[in-house]
A = this chain, B = another copy of it.
Amino acid sequence: MAETLTATALTLKDIAREAGVSLATVDRVLHNRPGVRPDTVRRVKAAIERNAFQPHVAAAELARGRARRFAFVMPSGPNPFMQQIEAYLGEMSAWLTVRRLNVELVATDVFDPSVLAGTLETLSGDYDGVAVVALDHPGVRAAINDLVDAGTKVVTLVSDVPSSRRHHYVGIDNIAAGRTAGALVGRLAGQKSGKVAIVAGSQGLRDHAERIFGFNQVMASEFPGLSVLPVLEGRDEDDRSEQVLARLLGKHADIVGLYNVGAGTQGVAKALNDKALNDKALSDAGRNEVVFVGHDVTVLTRRLLLQGVMDAAISQNPGHEARAAVRVLLALARGEPILREQEKIRIDIVMRDNLP
């Protein structure tokens, strides 16, 4: 009736006895210290394997004494999503303190490859781990690889550099996110046919490009009644996003769906509202006629969802990302296995009634 899930824990002493060597030798093997014959190394490692030995985390942590230093390299501009990640890191403060972890925020211009690469280089050697919101660029890739070679654990955050040798990526699959947005716009638009607009920050950003790709994929294959208009670029700015969208809405009367890929949500909503007022075309339910899907749950998008202006937000949980990045860095630094399932960031569909 009762089933136990845990093995009895061995200690280093047990491993030493098993392998027929002294504690000192096991210690040398465990920490890759020199002065052990290859044959002995093999014997010790065999004993460790055989017993699935894992060092007692608490004891190891206590013994090593010095704190670990992690750096979070984040965009310097005022990006609400990034600010949320930083806020959640702040909330972890007590958690970090009792584990003797030092987390430092490093603000930099992540959109300028050379600046970002330069920042990463200054970090080398000083940190046990680095989490970075990275731009995918050869210079950045090289800087990441240098960090890895120096022994620093590196995770990319939100935006990946798959071609680098970073140890882990904490973020969503942006193609799937775009597909999800497409499916939502298509399904929520109902039987209607018409045009669909896309507002992005820039098609040069990897994550935006991937989202657009996924979105178009779904629209093309599943919603033949809807035609996607050329992508508008709003540079993630409110004013510019509003302008370009307003112009487009003026030109096409039959726009039934809108996908806002990045930020600039305020501007997008404004353009949409102005149009609705002009048309005097708010439906009875108080909902805008144009299906509006965007990204991330912020103060603003939360309000838009509650008002019915926005129909759904594709979200990646910033708290989860912050904690996952720290946990992954810690596990990497300790040599512990990573709970992939736990650290995976999901694509959340957030509508009015399941607002977190």
Contact = CB atoms under 8 A, between A and B. Distances in A.
A105 B356 contact: no
Contacts of A98: 9, 54-57, 336
Given A3-B105, A319-B342, A222 B285 contact: yes
Interface in A48-88: 52, 54-59, 61-62, 67, 71, 88
A96 interface: yes
A97 B218 CA distance: 45
Given A58-B58, A93-B6, A349 B339 contact: no
Interface residues of A, number: 76
Interface string A167-211: 000000000110110111001101100000000000000000000
A1 B347 contact: no
Contacts of A180: 351, 353-354
Nearest to A100: B9
A89 B88 CA distance: 26
Contacts of A222: 285
Copies in the complex: 2
A347 B352 CA distance: 12
A349 B354 contact: yes
Nearest to A71: B2
A93 B97 CA distance: 26
Contacts of A100: 9, 56, 58
A342 B354 contact: no
A157 interface: no
Given A97-B7, A346-B356, A353-B218, A339 B2 contact: no
Given A5-B89, A92-B339, A57 B106 contact: no
A107 interface: yes
A155 interface: no
A347 B342 contact: no
Contacts of A274: none
Given A2-B105, A183-B352, A222-B285, A97 B342 contact: no
A75 B190 CA distance: 41
A333 interface: no
A99 interface: yes
Contact of A188 (B182, B187, B339): B187
A285 B183 CA distance: 13
Contacts of A176: 353-354
A323 interface: yes
28 contacts: A1-B108, A2-B71, A2-B104, A3-B104, A4-B103, A5-B89, A5-B93, A5-B102, A5-B105, A6-B97, A9-B100, A56-B62, A58-B58, A58-B61, A58-B62, A58-B99, A88-B341, A98-B336, A179-B353, A180-B351, A183-B352, A214-B353, A319-B341, A320-B342, A323-B339, A346-B354, A348-B349, A349-B351
Given A5-B103, A191-B191, A218-B353, 11 more contacts: A7-B97, A54-B94, A57-B58, A57-B98, A59-B62, A62-B62, A95-B339, A179-B354, A222-B285, A348-B349, A349-B354
Interface of A: 1-7, 9, 52, 54-59, 61-62, 67, 71, 88-108, 176-177, 179-180, 182-184, 187-188, 190-191, 214, 218, 222, 285, 311, 317, 319-320, 323, 336-337, 339, 341-342, 344, 346-354, 356
